[in-house]
Structure 1
C-alpha cells in the first residue's frame, strides 16, 4: 500500500551525477545542466525548508534501492513511505494549533533517520531476515516507537483528554509496573507467534512471494480485521460481565482510568493471551494471510491499539477520520460511567451499535487547555 509512493520515484541508474544532482537540487539555475531528482508527491509543493532534509534523505535512500526489489527492500521502502506520509500530514495540520510546528518534523526526522540507518546497516552486513522473524518482532518495536511519539506530544496539556494531574491521581498503578506488564505481555505474544509460524510452516506458493493481487490482500486484511474485532468484542464483554474474571483478571487493565499510549497492552497475562494473542492468531489463520502480510497487518493493529489508548486528541490524526472507534471512544469505556459500554476494539464499533452497548459522546474544549469527553447517553444503574 505505502510502497506505491516509493514506486513513483525515478530509476536508479549507474550515474555518477546522482550525488552531484542531490547537492545542487535546491540551487541549480539550469535544469538542463544539473538534473534535479524528483521530489515525492506529498512534498512537491511544500515551501518549508524543513522538508529539504526529508527530500535529500529519501532521494538518497530510494535511488540506491530502486534496482533491488527484494522482500526486505520492499518492506524498508514501505516503512519509510509510511513515515513520510505521516510526517507530511501532521506537519500540515499542526499549523491550525498552538503546538510548535517544529515538534512534528523533528520527531519524524529522528525516527526516519534511525530507521534508514538500522535497515541499511542490516543490509550492508548481509543479515538475512525472514518474514516470520519480522512478523514476530515488528509489532513489538512499532509499539514502543509509536508510543514514544505520544509521550512527546502528551507533554502539552493542549491535546490531552485528561490533565496530567488526573493521570497521576486517578491511575491505580505506577508506570514502572505498567512497563513491566507490557514487556511480559509482549514476551508471551512473541512465543505464540513463533509457535504459530513454526506450526503453519513457510508457504512457498506464488501468493506469498509477492504476486498476491491488491484485491486479495485487501480481502485478507478486511477478514482479519472482522475476525479480530469479533473475537475481542465478545471476549472483552464477557470479562466485564463475569464478576470473577473481571475482579481477578480484566480489572488489571482498568487500573488505568486515564489511559496513555504505552499502557495499551497492560493486561493480566491470561487476558493478554486470551484476548490479544489468541485473537490475533485466529485472525491470521482464518484470513489466510502469509507471514509477510502479517508483518503489515499486526504492525497496523498495534499502532491502532496504541492510538486508542493514547489519551490525546491530536490534530491531523487519520484514525479519527476513518474510525469512529478512536481515543475518545475508548476513553469513555475507561471511565466509571462507561465500563458497560464501548467494548469494541481495535478497529470498528459495529458490535456495540448492533448489541446496544454503544455510548455516544461529545468532545468539548476545556478552559485550561485540552479536551473533555462527555457522555450523551443517560446511564442507568442495574
Structure 2
C-alpha cells in the first residue's frame, strides 16, 4: 500500500482555503498583506528612533549614533510611500480584476522544505536582479538622478526609508518580488510567505541598527550583508549594490566593509 505523507501545515492551509477563499483569491490580498507587514515591521524601529539616547540599551546598537531621523524626514518618507501606493500599487492591483481571473487555491499545501527552498531561490534571484539594476542606476548619471536619487536623500537610513522610492523603482522591485516565486513554481502560500519575508529583510536592511539578532549575524560566513552593509552603501553609494547578500559585490569588486567609527554612548550621556 502506498502511504501519502501529509505536509505539516496541511491543516492550516485547509482552514485558510475553506474559510477565507474569497479573501485569498482577491488581487488586493497580496497588496494588503505586504503593506500591513511593512507597517508592522517599521513601527518598532520608529519607536527606537523616537526614544533615541533615552533608551541606551537600544541606542548602543545604532550604526550611526550621531544621526537620527527627524519628524520632517519621517513625514517625508510617509508621504512618498502613501503617494506610491495610491497612484501605482493599488491601481495596478485593481486593474488585475479586469484581465486576470481569481487564482485557484490548490488543495495540497506545500511542505516545509518546499517553502524554504522556494523562498531561498526567490530571494537569491531577487538579489541578483536588483544588484544589476542597482549598479546600472548608480553608474549612469541620468538613471541615478531620474529614478534612484530619491532613495539616497538620507546618509543614515531608517526603516521608513525602505520604500522612499521613485515609482519606477517601486514597480520594478514589486514585479520581481511577485514574479520570482512564479518562476520557481512555488505554491501560493510560499509566494505570500516570501512577500512577507522580503518586506522584513528589506526593512531590516534599512533600519539603521545592528542588533545581535539581525539576519546578518544569524547567517554564517558573512554571506549575508544586512543593515550594516546597506548602511555603508548609503555612506559610500558606489559600493555594496546587492540588497541582501554579499557574493555579487565581492565578485564585481564593489564590496565595502563598514568603517564608520561607533560613538561611545557612555561619553554622550
TM-score tier, shorter chain, comes to 0.7 to 0.9
SS state of the match for residue 210, structure 2? coil
Structure 1 partner of 2:40: 145
Instruction: Say which structure is richer in helix.
Output: 2
Structure 2 partner of 1:37: none
Rg: which structure is higher?
A: 1
| 1:358 counterpart = 2:255 | yes
TM-score for both structures, normalised by structure 1:
0.57
| 1:167 counterpart = 2:68 | yes
More displaced stretch, 127-136 vs 228-237: 127-136
Contact 1:178 1:263 in 2 (8 A): yes
| 1:134 counterpart = 2:29 | yes
- Provide, for residues 219-268 of structure 1, a one-character-per-residue CA deviation record: whole Å limited to 9, x for no partner: 32222112211111100111101110111221110002111001111011
TM-score for both structures, normalised by structure 2:
0.78
**How many correspondences in the alignment?**
249
Structure 2 partner of 1:11: none
SS state of the match for residue 130, structure 1? helix
Equivalent-residue separation in structure 1 for 2:47 and 2:141 (angstroms):
37
Of 263, 266, 271, 2:164 maps to: 266
Equivalent-residue separation in structure 2 for 1:328 and 1:296 (angstroms):
25
Summarize the Cα distance change of 1:239–1:196 in structure 2 as closer, same or farther, 3 Å threshold.
farther
Q: RMSD of aligned C-alpha atoms? A: 3.3
Report the CA distance between 1:218 and its aligned residue.
2.8
Q: Which ranges of structure 2 fall in alignment gaps of 5 or more residues? A: 1-6, 53-58
Structure 1 partner of 2:4: none
Contact 2:158 2:208 in 1 (8 A): yes
Equivalent-residue separation in structure 1 for 2:34 and 2:91 (angstroms):
13
Q: Which ranges of structure 1 fall in alignment gaps of 5 or more residues? A: 8-65, 74-122, 371-382
Report the CA distance between 1:299 and its aligned residue.
0.6
Of 52, 57, 60, 1:158 maps to: 60
Contact 1:142 1:299 in 2 (8 A): yes
Of 111, 115, 133, 1:235 maps to: 133
Contact 1:159 1:314 in 2 (8 A): yes
